[in-house]
Amino acid sequence: MRPSITILLQQARQGRREAADELMPMVYDQLRRLAESYLSNERPGHTLVATALVHEAYLRLAGADVDWRDRVHFFAVAAKQMRYILVDHAKSRGRIKRGSGGDQVSLDDVTLAYEEAPLDVIAVDEALKRLAEFDARKSEAVELLYFGGLTYEETAEAMGTSVATVQRELKIAKAWLHTQLKGGGKA
């Protein structure tokens, strides 16, 4: 019987190298879905591919000094790392190709499975940072649900709250982010 993701995370944290090797096959598919979800929002011809994003995120996670609580916590941190990688990538591309800014899109467009325009990762990242300054809990809910790919139940568990509270926090956060992404507010 294979140990659970939570047990392997704890063993890896304690220095058992084999635990990290056993963990990767168990989390790879979900990390890949997360990466594909992120990349589906990018402009056509994006230079990062899902496999590269997963591997970069996993390398960062493997070297992270994180006290892993459980599987949900792992995927929440993984989502955040993928977001940081994409933001870093977008910023480096912007330095290479000044003035290439993407279209601004609302969070509603983002929540509709990213069907319309490519997502301006930097604008969303900046808006989430402003939201975190304004209300860290709402920012965390958005990050876990939309970028972490967690369910409402998993998000509530990760945040130590109820599903109803997550839904309330998200409703307010979406309205706030919508205003920010449309250029109507500076917190």
pLDDT tens per residue across span 128-152? 889 989 898 998 888 888 777 788 9
Tell me how far the alpha carbon of residue 77 is from its chain's centroid: 8
148 secondary structure, DSSP code: S
HSE on the CB side for 37, CA within 13 Å? 19
**pLDDT above 60: residue 108:** no
Per-residue confidence (pLDDT) for residue 105, from 0 to 100: 47
3-state secondary structure (DSSP) of residue 4: coil
Instruction: Taking each helix axis as running N to C, give the angle between helix 71-96 and helix 50-62, from 0 to 180 degrees, rounded to the nearest 10.
Output: 120
pLDDT tens per residue across span 47-56? 778 888 888 8
**In angstroms, rounded to a whole number, what is the distance separating the alpha carbons of residues 58 and 68?**
14
- Over its C-alpha atoms, the chain yields an Rg (Å, rounded) of 17
Per-residue confidence (pLDDT) for residue 106, from 0 to 100: 47
Alpha helix positions (H), the chain: 5-13, 17-39, 50-62, 71-96, 107-111, 121-134, 136-142, 152-159, 163-181
Per-residue confidence (pLDDT) for residue 94, from 0 to 100: 64
pLDDT tens per residue across span 3-37? 888 898 888 888 888 888 888 888 898 888 888 87
Per-residue confidence (pLDDT) for residue 171, from 0 to 100: 92
How large a percentage of the chain has pLDDT more than 90?
Answer: 9
The pair of structure tokens assigned to 182 is 């449309």
The pair of structure tokens assigned to 84 is 């940081």
pTM of the model: 0.64
Distances (CA, A) of 27 to 71, 107, 131, 156: 9, 28, 29, 21
- Interacting residues of 159 by C-beta distance below 8 A, sequence separation 6+: 137, 140, 141, 144, 165, 166
Per-residue confidence (pLDDT) for residue 184, from 0 to 100: 56
pLDDT tens per residue across span 169-187? 999 998 888 888 887 555 4
pLDDT tens per residue across span 28-41? 988 888 888 777 76
